[in-house]
Amino acid sequence: MKRISTSNTSCKQSLPVINDNNEIISCIDLFCGAGGLTHGLRKAGINVIAGIDLDPQCRFPYETNNLSTFIEKDIHEVSGAELIKLFENAKVKMLAGCAPCQPFSTYSQPNRQSRNDNKWDLVSSFGRLVKESKPDLITMENVPHLLRHEVFREFLKTLKQYNVWYEVVKCQQYGVPQTRKRLVLIASLLGEVKLLSPNEVESRRTTVRQAISDLPAIEAGQCDKNDPLHVASSLSEMNLRRIRASKPGGTWEDWDSSLVASCHRKGSGQTYRSVYGRMEWDAPAPTITTQCFGFGNGRFGHPEQDRAISLREAAILQTFPTSYKFLDSGERVKFNILGRLIGNAVPVRLGEIVGRSIVAHLQEYGLLDESTE
């Protein structure tokens, strides 16, 4: 855990006391995606007035499930003046976001990183907007690997006027049913700030069974008639044989040699044990990725049904509520698009914990009554 405090912000900033979170806190969510972070912050009582993202596919789920405005725009083209105008007369201004993490992800290969060099400066764009809009509160979520990159150190320099806390968080400890680890940063002009501990928010670890076992059974390539998002991708005959030979928590090494892919028979393929696997009922899921709907893309096989997890199951493992709508009425399922929206999202539960931490911080500094939590 790291905390950075500056002497010139050790005293409480003079701000008016208002007893309604929605009146005192206004937040803008950069790189908002389908709305995982926004939804979590809203659950904690924080008024997210707008989300900004360049992906037009985000508009429907973002606006349908959140009382927030979606702005389709590249962050590189957003100015601090625009954010200030959005904040209007907000008493406490908060800037939140998760810059797309593909350049920093351990799933990214070197050649992929070189193709995405233009994305490496998105964290820098976040820092630019902090300098230009001067929010009172900041939160950022990203992959742990970002800690080791120069762009993060430069981002911290942007926050020299703030009290800063950051740490790699094990999401499972906060009730997210997956082994996801994320870098979480919170910064404040008001005083010292931190993420609440699992004990402080009474979090309990959640398993795959607790999360998705009550969903109707479906087959590979099938869709639940009552929920268009509860749909599983189809399997080839070979992959159907493979998943039937797979054990929960096992690997392709458990299979008969006739089922093993030729690339895995090579010496270089022995390290790829985290593909073609089933989840375990009484353990957390692996980290949900943008390709989580594919059996061969990771340990994304259903614990007992012969298929990969459905898009709805992936969303639930990301702690989106079952009522969260990703598809407009009559819209056709596109696995790559929906997988991207779900896999790239900040887990709603993690967003809620960040929001509750911010609320507790404002209560500590007398800006909110405890009754407003």
Check residue 126 and give its pLDDT.
96
- Looking at the structure, tell me whether residues 20 and 128 fall in a common domain: yes
Check residue 103 and give its pLDDT.
47
Question: Could you tell me what percentage of the chain is helix, strand and coil, using 3-state DSSP and rounding each to the nearest 5?
Answer: 40, 15, 45
Which residues make beta-bridge pairs with 168? Answer: 183
Residue 181's nearest CA partner among 106, 96, 94, 100 is 106
Q: What is the pLDDT of residues 97-135, one digit of tens each?
A: 998 865 444 444 444 444 444 556 899 999 999 999 999
Active site residue 101: yes
27, 98, 101, 292: the catalytic one is: 101
Retrieve residue 2's tokens: 């790291």
- Looking at the structure, tell me whether residues 130 and 223 fall in a common domain: no
- Looking at the structure, tell me whether residues 240 and 145 fall in a common domain: no
Check residue 241 and give its pLDDT.
93
d(CA 279, CA 318): 15
Domain range for residue 316?
208-343
Check residue 265 and give its pLDDT.
59
Retrieve residue 313's tokens: 């199951």
3-class secondary structure, 372: helix
- Looking at the structure, tell me whether residues 188 and 114 fall in a common domain: yes
Check residue 255 and give its pLDDT.
79
- Looking at the structure, tell me whether residues 166 and 265 fall in a common domain: no
Residues with Cβ within 8 Å of residue 341, at least 6 apart in sequence: 33, 34, 57, 58, 61, 326
CATH number for the domain spanning 182: value is 3.40.50.150
Check residue 264 and give its pLDDT.
62
Low-confidence ranges of the chain (pLDDT < 50): 5-20, 103-117, 268-269
- The number of distinct structural domains making up the chain is 2
- Looking at the structure, tell me whether residues 353 and 291 fall in a common domain: no
Check residue 101 and give its pLDDT.
60
